[in-house]
């Protein structure tokens, strides 16, 4: 191309685990409020049963699900589901669409991805890796959703601009940058749990980030600090942020019983 030579960067290998679906809905409040109390109670009982059935998947390690009441105008409810296959996620999506409550839920946003661990910050495992290390790795690739009170979810990508392009950086430079970036996250390990999913080829952004904490102020603190890190300051592109409170079977009524 006119004598211009492009540097080809080696793509780092990833370890991939369970598929993940974020399903966000808006409640049709006028339609919901028009129901009699007995009808609402019946629909909420069915929704509680669906949520309990999803959580039961954790007992036999065949998946994990969580539901959250979102703040703000972007959506009202969010379901986060991890399953070994896309078929498992489709079954969940269809179950909610066919449910009685589904008639009152309008899709607002969705995000499809797969749990991803990058080798930027972790060395390949040796043949002598302990059983404990193997179990820890499996737990990260097939995660059980933390039962914290709050969640912060956002999609993101890396910059591919004319002057700055993450994907054209040397592998060692990317590794050093990510190692420095990861040190900030480790400083919040006792306050914030993080799950990263990859969405290249699956959705519009490149990654999804879920943060879990019992103190929602920690979401601002960790993201604010990371904005001053070079990886975020120069190369990160962020989508919308969604923050919500965890719902367990039974407490969905707190938000929907009276409308």
Catalytic sites, residue numbers = 154
Q: Is 73 helix (H, G, I), strand (E, B) or coil?
A: coil
Task: Report yes or no: 60 and 142 within 8 Å, Cβ to Cβ.
Answer: no
- Exposed, middle or buried, 68 (CB in 10 Å: 0-12/13-18/19+)? buried
Of residues 11, 65, 15, the one with CA closest to residue 198 = 15
Task: Report yes or no: 86 and 19 within 8 Å, Cβ to Cβ.
Answer: yes
Tallying the residues shown for the chain, one arrives at 259
Query: To which H or E segment does residue 29 belong?
Result: helix 29-33
Alpha-carbon span 175 to 122, nearest angstrom: 10
Annotate 70-108 with DSSP letters as a single string. Answer: EPSSS-SEEEEEEESSHHHHHHHHHHHHHSTGGGGEEEE
Paired residues of 105 in beta bridges? 27
Of residues 236, 123, 169, the one with CA closest to residue 10 = 169
Q: What share of the chain is helix, strand, coil (3-state, %, to 5)?
A: 35, 30, 35
Residue 73 tokens, joined: 């105008």
Alpha-carbon span 226 to 185, nearest angstrom: 8
């Amino acid at each position: 191309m006119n004598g211009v030579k492009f540097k080809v960067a080696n793509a780092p290998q990833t370890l991939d685990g369970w598929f993940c679906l974020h399903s966000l809905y808006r409640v049709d409040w006028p339609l919901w409020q028009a129901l009699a109390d007995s009808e609402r109670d019946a629909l909420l009982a069915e929704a509680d049963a669906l949520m309990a059935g999803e959580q039961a998947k954790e007992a036999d390690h065949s998946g994990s699900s969580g539901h959250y009441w979102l703040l703000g105008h972007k959506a009202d409810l969010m379901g986060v589901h991890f399953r070994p296959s896309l078929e498992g996620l489709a079954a969940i999506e269809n179950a909610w669409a066919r449910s009685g409550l589904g008639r009152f839920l309008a899709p607002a946003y969705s995000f499809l991805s797969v749990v991803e661990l990058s080798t930027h910050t972790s060395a390949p495992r040796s043949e002598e890796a302990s059983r404990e290390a193997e179990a820890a790795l499996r737990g990260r690739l097939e995660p059980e959703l933390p039962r914290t009170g709050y969640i912060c979810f956002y999609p993101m990508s890396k910059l591919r601009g004319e002057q700055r392009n993450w994907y054209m950086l040397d592998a060692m430079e990317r590794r050093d940058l990510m190692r420095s970036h990861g040190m900030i996250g480790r400083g919040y390990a006792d306050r914030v749990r993080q799950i990263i999913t990859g969405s290249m080829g699956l959705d519009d952004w490149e990654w999804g980030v879920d943060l879990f904490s019992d103190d929602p102020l920690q979401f601002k603190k960790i993201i604010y600090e990371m904005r001053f890190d070079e990886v975020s300051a120069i190369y990160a592109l962020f989508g919308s942020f969604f923050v919500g409170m965890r719902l367990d079977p039974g407490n969905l009524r707190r938000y929907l019983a009276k409308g």
